Structure 1
Amino acid sequence: MSQTLTGCPVDHRALQPNGCPVSARAAAFDPFGGSYQVDPAASLRWSRDEEPVFYSPEIGYWVVTRYEDVKAVFRDNILFSPSIALEKITPVSDEATATLAKYDYAMARTLVNEDEPAHMPRRRVLMDPFTPKELVHHEPMVRRLTREYVDRFVDTGRVDLVDEMLWEVPLTVALHFLGVPEEDMDTMREYSIAHTVNTWGRPAPEEQVAVAEAVGKFWQYAGQVLEKMRQDPSGHGWMPYGIRVQQEQPEVVTDSYLHSMMMAGIVAAHETTANASANAFRLLLENRSVWEELCADPGLISGAVEECLRHSGSVAAWRRLVTADTTIGGVDIPAGSKLLIATSSANRDDRHFEGADDFDIRRENASDHLTFGFGGHQCLGKNLARMEMQIFLEELTTRLPHLELVPDQEFTYLPNTSFRGPDHVWVHWDPAENPERRDPALLGKRHPVTIGEPSKAAVSRTVTVDAITPAADGVVRVTLSDPSGRPLPRWTPGSHIDVDLGELSRQYSLCGDPNDLSVYEIAVLEEPESRGGSRYVHHTLQAGDTLTMRGPRNHFRLDADAERYVFVAGGIGITPVLAMADHVKSAGKDYEIHYCGRDVTTMALLDRVGTDHGDRLVVHSSAAGNRLDIPALLAEPVAGTQIYSCGPERLLAALEEATAHWPEDSLHVEHFTSNLTTLDPANEHSFEVELRDSGLTVTVAADQTVLDALRASNIDIQSDCEEGLCGSCEAPVLDGEVDHRDVVLTKTERAQNKSMMTCCSRACGSKLTLAL
């Protein structure tokens, strides 16, 4: 490869013959056609595996494809400037430039492409309309529009979802959200496409003037509407809100800024949602069994939206400018370089998403996707898009569950580097089978919309109760399976699942064989002081019933590298310990089990424990007078030994006291219950949480959890139990001392002060800094 490659940042003259650093695949990379347009993530698999950061002579950009590298670029808006995010990726003709000039086109900085220190002050003052508490007011409007558009075609039997709903509804929602009059729909559609092609596409020379003409008219139209709003900025919508903010802070929100945001906001709020929705319907209908699951259980929809955004999102890539010499993924990148950060590729990186090419609507980390970006420039409208997609899916899975893709259709895409959605998605169905003809009442049903990132509680699956059998006096063993006979998710010793029992959700440790994924086994003790969960299992649940289950998750992990293990189980606490002992035995490790209970007749699974671990088992029964002497058992620390225990709080407290002289973190425990109580503002204090990646500072009130404060500020963070038991809401801590109130972190982890559970833990002082 010769030095004639334009824009190549490497001095080829200094290299040996054939020593060009631009590989054949990198040289052939073309984001405007071929496999990238069909499936950008799949087309870059070679890069993720072999060359995660490469230079593309075709576009003059360095391309970044792995998840951690892309996220690191998003995190640092100083080193990696967003200033080129809206720059034309393809130079245009002088005639096209002159065409834009005649319309006084002056698209400048927006929230997308603005550098610090100007960006964050504007983002802060303009963010409130995007928060969940404000977005909830838009839900009825989105539902009404969606219903009206489906009404138009529900009895036709064949439709292009893009033309008849998925393009126009998001556009109308975008205009409504911005406060723009709902008019000139066809013209606005033309403008929006032209803007995308002008900025991210490669229009042919003969097309460039026409594109510029449409963009110029779009700019002019945006200015005219803005001027109308200035006459009376009291109305609803983001732009009137921005005008009102301008009146108070004119140095932050300027005239030129509002004009640019008017135009950019229409495109951002409309086109990305339309494309994401079209991608989602194609993906779901191509995976028929998943579509049928959503039809049967609308509770799965919010999780399905996240997985659609991850697997086939509408944002394929963003762009950044490198402001100083740096290294990305081990590759030296000189200052002045341009980056194409391939979010679509990052979202299918097996290093972060297990089985990343699989489409799994129950994937617990699906919302880690980077389709909305990350950090200080994360998409403000992400939750509006999530809301729309959930409502679209609910409406069509309810009214047209028999919907199918028209076979053999060709899916085409507007050629560009960054935004992706099929031009058409043709579907057909038999109107005679429309369920509303048999049951008009279903039109009145509504499923709650998740405004924000769905919690882990939303990632659920239905399981069948195969059997309920006695495991001891007052204990039953429950066997669960997938209703369709599919394998259940893999799990490791110490894992638990969350099960919905009537109106309650309870956690139970898995005690079966991790290698047998045809069933899960749990054991449930009927507690005299039960809040209802164990009573439900013992007196209401029957074989053949179905339950909603989440997980498995594991915050009680077994250290596979220990030399020796001491297992201490108290009562029903044998369930996670048994799976651990099975694993240790199969690995040929040294171990002993101390199983404690009131009486052998009440000790769950005792026969199984004795059969499989008899020579390593010591049974301690209060009734028999041989209670476990914990201080004697643990009197002398034994090198290489790890202690694992699950049981009542008094047992765990005694173990903690007895191991105080052992090496740090020799003891690992699993708690049955949380000690959390309702926050009492009289005993708490308010504090600030600085969010380093987002550039925000959030105030946590005395009667508010950190988790609630984050969500109110539009920050994505998952949760499940919200009792400090499950670890779902963990957040990285950068500075400030945490008042830890969870039962997940170990003593060492608390002392290290590197993370906190946001559902319950608080600040000891006046401020915490989190990596969010």
Structure 2
Amino acid sequence: MVAPKTAACPVHSSFNPLSDNYLSDPYPTLSAVRDEVPVFFAPEVDMWVVTRYDDIDAIFRDPATFSASVGQRPVFPMSSEAQSILAKGFHAFPVMSDCDPPRHTRIRKHNMTGFSGRRIAKLEPKVLAKATQMFDGIRPGLVDLVDAVTYPLPAYMIFTFIGFPDEDMDTLKRWCGNRMLFSWGHPSPALQAEIATNMVHYWRYCENFVAERARSPQDDFTSDLIRIHQADPDSLSLHEITNIAYGLSFAGHETTTNFTSNAVHRLLTHREQWDAVVADQGLINNAIEETLRYDSSIIAWRRMATRPTTVGGVDIPGGAKLMLLLGAAGRDPGHFSAPEEFDIHRGDARRHLAFGKGIHYCIGAALARMEARIVLDLLATRAPEVRIVDDQEYTFPANISFRGPQQLWVQWPASDS
């Protein structure tokens, strides 16, 4: 623990991002701490918390001072049983979101080759066809859109992009279950062991999949990386490709599920704005950006200070872990007018920090936007009269970073419009 050395340092002993009230609705707390004490130490999570847009933006743009190496480490210590399970068959190491230069620079360059405009354009009609099939299967009455669309579609999208076979998707989704709790929540020792076991299964699957693609490359993202390896084995190893496939399959699944669910939720609970989207589907792109600003699927991320530094006028010791409250930055009145209002006509919504900034800007941003656009477009076309169930109780995953409703109940109209 790297805690404040003197009582004069700002400490917020009551800030707990895993409390029931915070998980239910973090935004009142986020706005309050940003306005009262923008940078403070939170003993509950052993992190320095940063809340303002300008400070977080500066941290993202300074990877030399603020390392990404803690991005995916468990917030709380792992149980000895979970450590033992991982030691026997899980061999991942940092390659992208939790990796610093120079390795990050090399890996990202190769990944950008795989995330080409051609690759994304080739994927879009497949995602549209899959989404259309899912909407075709919805029947009038009460429908959980998370179960029906926003959970299975991102899994299909990212698994197809990577190249995983369709017949393996249910197993892969099961292995992803509760994964976010492992690194960003506080699971019990028994649950840690269960998740660790699934991580080992998933890792071995990725090892075998990459080995198969090395023997017989196909037309997919993994094969793009295999061809880079075959042209120059020293530039990208098979172990690194396995790491990329493993990490990307999770990151591109859970975050996009939450993002798309949040967009549908916010639009349907602001009925006049949903009606505006139905009347003019050209508004969808900006509605997506406003969702990312107002209700991001990632409300917090982490960094570590590589040396003593100052953030927002507060001295931060070297080695300190930082929690960057993106949810607070998205509603910073210093950058957005009427920030507590959800407004799809907002002209500067795209200035949000939801995808990060600098060298770690989200490599899958275009994919996430594409999938959300397809869902909203089909929803507005197929079911413009769809209604949110007003009295439902929303629940959210118990973790510090990822946020989206676990269920989203709507009343599906009796006939498509």
In structure 2, how many angstroms separate the alpha carbons of the residues matched to 1:208 and 1:125? 33
Aligned residue among 316, 322, 337 for 1:354: 337
Partner in structure 2 of residue 383 of structure 1: 366
Contact 1:42 / 1:345 at 8 angstroms: preserved in 2? no
Alignment-mate amino acid for residue 203 of structure 2: W
Establish whether residue 283 from structure 1 lines up as the match of residue 266 from structure 2: yes
Asked if the contact 1:322/1:335 (under 8 Å) is kept, the reply is yes
TM-score in terms of structure 2 length: 0.97
Please report how far the alpha carbon of residue 360 of structure 1 lies from its aligned counterpart in structure 2 after TM superposition. Answer: 0.9
Task: Kindly indicate whether residue 180 of structure 2 is the aligned counterpart of residue 187 of structure 1.
Answer: no
How far residue 133 of structure 1 moved from its aligned partner, in angstroms, is: 4.5
AA at the equivalent of 1:106: H
Alignment counterpart, residue 170 of structure 1, candidates 154, 166, 170: 154
Report the CA distance between 1:337 and its aligned residue. Answer: 0.4
Rounded Cα–Cα distance in structure 2 between residues aligned with 1:161 and 1:421: 12
1:138 to 115, 118, 123: 123
Partner of 1:293: 276
1:78, distance to aligned residue in structure 2 (A): 1.1
What is the SS of the residue equivalent to 1:55? strand
Quick check: 1:113 aligned with 2:70? no
Q: Is the 8 A contact 1:132 1:383 kept in 2?
A: no
What is aligned with 1:86? 72
- Structure 1 alignment gaps of length 5 or more: 1-6, 13-18, 436-772
TM-score (norm 1): 0.53
Residue type of the partner of 2:62?
Answer: D
- Deviation string 1:191-231 (CA, Å, 9 cap, x unpaired) is 22332111111101232211211121111222121222111
Q: Deviations 1:551-601 (Å, cap 9, x if unpaired)?
A: xxxxxxxxxxxxxxxxxxxxxxxxxxxxxxxxxxxxxxxxxxxxxxxxxxx
- Equivalents in 2 of 1:82, 1:362: separation in Å? 34
Question: How many Å separate the matches in 2 of 1:40 and 1:410?
Answer: 16
Distance (Å, rounded) in 2 between the aligned partners of 1:305 and 1:174: 19
Paired residues for 1:492-641 under 5 Å: none
Q: Distance in 1 between matches of 2:126 and 2:338?
A: 38
Asked if 1:303 is matched to 2:286, the reply is yes
- How far apart are the structure 1 equivalents of 2:82 and 2:242? 21
Contact 2:120/2:367 (<8 A) preserved: yes
Take 2:308 and 2:105, find their aligned partners in 1: how far apart are those partners? 24
2:189 counterpart of 1:219: no
CA deviations on 1:216-258 (whole Å, 9 max, x unpaired) are 111122212122211112x122111111111223223122211
Report what 2:144 is aligned to: 160
Contact 2:2 2:319 in 1 (8 A): no
For 1:85 and 1:157, locate their aligned partners in 2 and report how far apart those are by CA, in whole Å.
41
Once residues 215 and 238 of structure 1 are traced to their aligned partners in structure 2, the CA distance between those partners, rounded to angstroms, is 22
Is the alpha carbon distance of 1:41 and 1:236 closer, same or farther for their aligned partners in structure 2, counting shifts above 3 Å?
farther
Structure 1 residue 21: Cα displacement: 3.2
Residue 326 of structure 2 corresponds to which residue in structure 1?
Answer: 343
Tell me which residue corresponds to 2:222: 239
RMSD: 1.4
Q: Aligned partners of 1:430, 1:120: CA distance in 2, in Å?
A: 49
Q: Is the 8 A contact 1:149 1:165 kept in 2?
A: yes
Partners of 2:267 and 2:306 in 1: CA distance: 41
Q: For residue 644 of structure 1, what is the aligned residue in structure 2? A: none
Offset of residue 137 of structure 1? 2.0
**Residue matched to 2:112:** 127
Say if 1:108 and 1:256, in contact at 8 Å, map to a contact too. no
Letter in 2 for 1:84: V
Which residue in 1 is equivalent to 2:386? 403
The one-letter code of the counterpart of 2:212 is K
Map Cα deviations across residues 495-541 of structure 1 (whole Å, 9 max, x no partner): xxxxxxxxxxxxxxxxxxxxxxxxxxxxxxxxxxxxxxxxxxxxxxx
Q: Which digits, 9 at most, give the CA deviation of each residue in 1:722-747, with x for residues without a partner?
A: xxxxxxxxxxxxxxxxxxxxxxxxxx
**Equivalent residues of 1:100, 1:212 under 8 A apart:** yes
Task: Name which of 43, 51, 57 aligns with 2:29.
Answer: 43
State the Cα deviation string for residues 406-432 of structure 1 (Å, max 9, x = none): 221111011011111111001113314
1:56 aligns to what? Answer: 42
Number of the residue aligned with 1:10: 4
- Aligned-pair identity (%): 37
Report the AA paired with residue 259 of structure 2.
A
Q: Residue 400 of structure 1: CA displacement?
A: 0.3
Determine if contact 2:134/2:149 at 8 Å carries over to the other structure: yes
Residue aligning to 2:243: 260
CA contact (8 A) 1:273 1:314 kept: yes
User: After the TM superposition, which of the residue ranges 127-136 and 300-309 deviates more from structure 2?
Assistant: 127-136
Bigger Rg over Cα: 1
CA distance in 2, matches of 1:53, 1:354: 22
Counterpart CA distance in 2 for 1:98 and 1:39 is 36
Counterpart-to-counterpart distance in 1, 2:140 and 2:405: 22
Match of 1:28 among 14, 18, 26: 14
Q: Tell me how far 1:8 sits from its aligned partner.
A: 5.0
Structure 2 distance, partners of 1:376, 1:35, is 34
- In structure 2, list runs of 5 or more residues that go unmatched: none
Residues 96 and 212 of structure 1 are in contact (CA less than 8 Å); yes or no, is this contact kept in structure 2? yes
Tell me the SS of whatever aligns to 1:284: helix
CA-CA distance at 1:36 after TM superposition:
2.6
SS in 2 for 1:289: helix
Distance in structure 1 (CA, Å) of the matches to 2:362 and 2:328: 18
Distance in 1 (CA, whole Å) between partners of 2:29 and 2:173 is 29
Partners of 1:96 and 1:360 in 2: CA distance? 45
Amino acid at match of 1:149: M
Is the CA contact 1:194–1:215 (under 8 Å) kept in the aligned structure 2?
A: no
Written as runs of structure 1 = structure 2, the 5 A alignment for 1:267-278 is 267-278=250-261
Structure ranking higher in helix proportion: 2
In 2, the alpha carbon distance for the partners of 1:381 and 1:401 equals 29
Q: Secondary structure of the residue that 2:128 maps to in structure 1?
A: helix
Q: Is the 8 A contact 2:144 2:408 kept in 1?
A: yes
> Which AA in structure 1 matches 2:3?
P
CA contact (8 A) 2:287 2:344 kept: yes
Q: Distance between the aligned counterparts of 1:47 and 1:127, measured in 2?
A: 37
**Displacement of 1:165:** 0.9
Would the alpha carbon gap of residues 35 and 20 (structure 1) be closer, same or farther in structure 2, given more than 3 Å must change? farther
Q: Distance in 1 between matches of 2:212 and 2:177?
A: 25
Looking at structure 1, the residues matched to 269 and 213 of structure 2 have their Cα atoms a distance apart, in angstroms, of 44
Q: CA deviation at 1:22?
A: 4.3
State the distance in 2 between where 1:361 and 1:129 align: 32
